[in-house]
Amino acid sequence: MNYEVIVVGGGHAGCEAALASSRKGHKTLLVTGNINNIATMPCNPSIGGSAKGIIVREIDALGGSMGEVADATLIQMKMLNYAKGPAVKSLRAQADKITYPREMLKVLRSEKNLSIKEGMVEDLIVKDNTVHGVVLDTGENIISNIVILTTGTYLKSDILVGDTRTRSGPHNERPSMHLSDNLKKYGFNILRLKTGTPPRIDRSTIDFTKTQREDGDKEAYTFSHTNPPVYDVNNQEPCHLIYTTEETKKIILDNLNKSSMYGGLNDITGVGPRYCPSIEDKIVRFSDKERHQLFLEPESKYYDDIYLQGFSTSMPRNIQEEMVHSLPGLEKAKILRYAYAIEYDAIYPTQIKPSLETKVLNNLFTAGQINGTSGYEEAACQGLIAGINAGLKLEGKEPLILKRNEAYIGVLIDDLVTKGTKEPYRMLTSRAEYRLLLRHDNSDLRLTEYGHNVGLVTGAKYQKFKEKKQNILELIEKLKEIKITVDNEKRRVTTTVYDYLKNPTAKLEELNKVFNLNLNYSKEVLEEAEIQIKYEGY
């Protein structure tokens, strides 16, 4: 059977790519090594975070699904950086590692133009520098007009623990052994990268009285711009904060040569993530720090694994036991899954165009960790753009290329294709010079028209967006007309609400109540109008 688009890999990039191309009406096949591992979270149990949460909002604004699935399955939600102002605040959800993949699989299976096949792609069908399909490890050829590679950390991946190297994907999954060699054969320059994951702890063996409880926010939020919250703010799973001890530091320094990264293995070429260092790296690089904060994060409501955030390591298992038992509340903790580092192949991202089509082979797109990024959100947004642009190419249309002043997605892709990377790339607010424009609150105003133009935002969702946009414009014009009298430096002055809101401490919601302005608009419309007025001078 022939397809218009084949997506290789069922991680977060692959899911968004497959959904985008199929929703645009193109016959799409998603090929993945294990259907049960579609949209799984092999590392941290969260969606969003600083800058990343804004990316998830941008994915939703363009018509992607990560935000809606996270909203439907989260077990805790927080708004980060709230006190720092609208430009950098960002949502972070604790996702349920059981229900998130199930919900995403349900979404994939609901698409009439999308098929899913279990298999391992090991080569491409290439003729005249153009891709025409894929070759499975069974020898089966599958023909397509376009191929999107979203292979994650599975290309010639090795698990590293102490002085042991095991050829494996995450959590003992089967890796792709030959695809990166074949990409090299076609002219791609291959990059070797590394990342890591911390141990998982049995919840019942933790003494939580020695930890600091961290609850979700009491206000309900969503990544989606149109769907209401479905979770109970009073029934969220707590996280817990702890710190490393002097004993932790001593154990790590005494055994540093046993870590894969610091002498346990001498043949490591992969470069690790600068902004997500292992605990060994933290102890060595920040030796002046007395302690490092760690979070105990629940992975699901349906099992007892606790993710020890901030404690990734490649130490041998017996040393991991000592390290964990040196932590407050974890003196008698049972490790359910040991930490490890993983080394894998990627391509140098300067070999791809801003559309995410490769420069080396026509009709081949790449997205996610194969392009040198880290993180579920960074992967998902690339998958979405690759899926959209694959469809646009089939339709003979120009690709969607977001500018740096339009989206964090635009910053990410521009950084990759122009600067490249030699380490796993993580999105940070500091990378975006236009971050005052790229806010959590206005993701839909920036991007939904693009989502509509490419055919992914339609019907009720697009209608709600148009109504919101019209209400904001209408409200801002009203505020230019409404006058109020206020105290200003020991004298009373009359001014418009519009001008008064330029005062950093002025709040439209409060003015609405105090002066009985009768502004009958939703909270998000009131907030967006206020932010636009305050930021007008920038």
Query: 242, 279 in Cβ contact below 8 A?
Result: no
Kindly provide the residue ranges of all beta strands, DSSP E only, lying in 200-357, ordered along the sequence: 200-202, 212-214, 239-243, 293-298, 305-309, 335-337, 340-347
Q: What residues does 305 pair with on adjacent strands?
A: 202
Report how far Cα 18 is from the mean position of its chain's Cα atoms: 17
Rg of the chain, C-alpha, whole Å? 24
Cα separation values, 206 from 166, 236, 309, 417, Å: 30, 19, 15, 45
**Within 10 Å of residue 277's Cβ, how many Cβ atoms?**
19
Which burial class, exposed, middle or buried, applies to 218 when counting CB atoms under 10 A from its CB (0-12, 13-18, 19+)?
A: exposed
| pLDDT tens for each residue of the chain, 538 residues long | 899 999 999 999 999 999 999 999 999 999 999 999 999 999 999 999 999 999 999 999 999 999 999 999 999 999 999 888 898 999 999 999 999 999 999 999 999 999 999 999 999 999 999 999 999 999 999 999 999 999 999 999 999 999 899 999 988 899 999 999 999 999 999 999 999 999 999 999 999 999 999 999 999 999 999 999 999 999 999 999 999 999 999 999 999 999 887 765 666 666 777 768 899 999 999 988 999 999 999 999 999 999 999 999 999 999 999 999 999 999 999 999 999 999 999 999 999 999 999 999 999 999 999 999 999 999 999 999 999 999 999 999 999 999 999 999 999 999 999 999 999 999 999 999 999 999 999 999 999 999 999 999 999 999 999 999 999 999 999 999 999 998 877 788 899 999 999 998 899 999 999 999 999 999 999 999 999 999 987 7
Residue ranges of domains in the chain: 3-41+56-61+107-193+346-453, 200-210+241-342, 460-534
Distance, in Å, from the CA atom of 366 to the CA atom of 182, rounded to the nearest integer, reads 15
Distance, in Å, from the CA atom of 82 to the CA atom of 356, rounded to the nearest integer, reads 33
> Which residue type, as a one-letter code, is found at position 507?
K
Report how far Cα 284 is from the mean position of its chain's Cα atoms: 28
Q: What residues does 161 pair with on adjacent strands?
A: 164
Second-level CATH architecture of 3-41+56-61+107-193+346-453: 3-Layer(bba) Sandwich (3.50)
Kindly provide the residue ranges of all beta strands, DSSP E only, lying in 272-357, ordered along the sequence: 293-298, 305-309, 335-337, 340-347
The CATH class, in words, for 460-534 is mainly alpha
The CATH class, in words, for 200-210+241-342 is mainly beta
Distance, in Å, from the CA atom of 325 to the CA atom of 304, rounded to the nearest integer, reads 18
CB contact set of 14 (below 8 Å; sequence gap of 6+): 7, 8, 30, 32, 38, 148, 150, 367, 368, 383
pTM of the model: 0.96
Long-range contacts of 518-523 (CB under 8 A, 24+ apart): 519/475, 519/478, 521/471, 521/475, 522/468, 522/471
b/e per residue 195-209 (b: at least 16 CB within 10 A): bbbbbbbebebbeee
Q: Which two tokens stand for residue 31?
A: 């090929």
